[in-house]
């Protein structure tokens, strides 16, 4: 069965500092990988996705993620965070089938001034 | 933003009563999903649909049923609400399976069962 692990429940970063959120997945075939962001009281917004090709993918809001097959990881990065980046971040994996995605439990990002 | 409307957005109901949440899409997407979100669990799939009248169970389907009589509408019914079904429910849509299967989410429905 597929699964996603986000090891960090909470992360605190100073504004202007770099950010890396970790995501490890388990999937028996070629995975499709996603990062979503959720602000309080809102739905989930797609940040970026990986299907194939270049393992470094660029997303919205200055985020990027790198797919590393050997490590079963898809970590999210941003060189310099802004206070508006404070939110919940979810990593997800799917096989492209009709049964949707499997999500990690999320990482809550706190930005310190 | 994807054209997804969930109703009601907020509801308080009593234990044992039936509840129906509605998801309406204007994108004509084939695939529709219901997820629930709970602290410490992330999002978990309840049911999904791959076409009109074609539905299947997800990870946490017990106590829930769904119906899809039209492409644009996907209904989630709690047959007899329990306190454990207090949660935030998200509808999601996708235009196709396979490569490019990106899922888009609605704004959520907050359900409290007292």
Question: Per the CB < 8 Å rule, is B102 touching A106?
Answer: no
Which of B10, B32, B42 is the best residue to mutate to test the A interface, defined by the most A CB atoms within 10 Å of its own CB? B42
Residue A1 · residue A93 · CB < 8 Å = no
Q: What is the pLDDT of residues A64-113, one digit of tens each?
A: 999 999 999 999 999 999 999 999 999 999 876 777 889 999 999 999 99
Residue linked to tokens 């009589």: B69
To the nearest whole Å, the CA of A49 is away from the closest chain B CA by 8
Question: Per the CB < 8 Å rule, is B104 touching A46?
Answer: yes
Helix then strand then coil, % of chain A, to nearest 5: 10, 50, 40
Closest CA to A50 of A26, A62, A67, A70: A67
CA-based angle A62:A66:A71, to the nearest 5?
Answer: 150
CA distances from A110 to A9, A79, A107, B70 (A): 11, 16, 10, 42
Q: What is the pLDDT of residues B18-64, one digit of tens each?
A: 999 999 999 999 999 999 999 888 999 999 999 999 999 999 999 99
Q: What is the mean pLDDT of residues A45-65?
A: 93
Verify cis geometry, omega within 30 degrees of 0, for the bond prior to B17: no
Residue A31 · residue A95 · CB < 8 Å = yes
Residue A91 · residue A104 · CB < 8 Å = yes
Report the pLDDT value the prediction gives residue B100, as an integer from 0 to 100: 58
Helix then strand then coil, % of chain B, to nearest 5: 5, 55, 40
Question: Per the CB < 8 Å rule, is B40 touching A100?
Answer: no
* B101: contact with A, CB 8 A cutoff: yes
pLDDT at B87 over 90: yes
**Would you place residue B97 in the very low, low, confident or very high pLDDT band (cuts 50, 70, 90)?**
low
* A106: contact with B, CB 8 A cutoff: yes
Question: Where do runs of H (alpha helix) occur along B12-72?
Answer: none
Which residues of chain B neighbour A51 with C-beta distances below 8 Å?
Answer: 99-100
- Count other C-beta atoms under 10 Å from residue A59's C-beta: 18
To the nearest whole Å, the CA of B19 is away from the closest chain A CA by 21
């Amino acid at each position: 069965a597929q699964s996603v692990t986000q090891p960090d429940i909470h992360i605190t970063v100073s504004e202007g500092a770099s950010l890396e959120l970790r995501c490890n997945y388990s999937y028996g075939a070629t995975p499709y990988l996603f990062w979503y962001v959720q602000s309080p009281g809102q739905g989930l917004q797609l940040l970026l996705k990986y299907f194939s090709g270049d393992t470094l993918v660029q997303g919205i809001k200055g985020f990027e993620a790198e797919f590393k097959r050997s490590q079963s990881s898809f970590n999210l990065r941003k060189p310099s965070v802004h206070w508006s980046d404070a939110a919940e971040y979810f990593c997800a994996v799917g096989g492209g089938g009709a049964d949707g995605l499997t999500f990690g439990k999320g990482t809550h990002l706190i930005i310190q001034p | 933003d994807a054209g997804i409307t969930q109703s009601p957005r907020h509801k308080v109901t009593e234990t044992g009563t039936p509840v129906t949440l509605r998801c309406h899409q204007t994108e004509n997407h084939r695939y529709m999903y219901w997820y629930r979100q709970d602290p410490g669990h992330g999002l978990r799939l309840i049911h999904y649909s791959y076409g009109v009248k074609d539905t299947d169970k997800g990870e946490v389907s017990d106590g829930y049923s769904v119906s899809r009589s039209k492409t644009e509408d996907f209904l989630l019914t709690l047959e007899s609400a329990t306190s454990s079904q207090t949660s935030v429910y998200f509808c999601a849509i996708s235009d196709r399976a396979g490569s490019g299967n990106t899922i888009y989410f609605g704004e959520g429905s907050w359900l409290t069962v007292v």
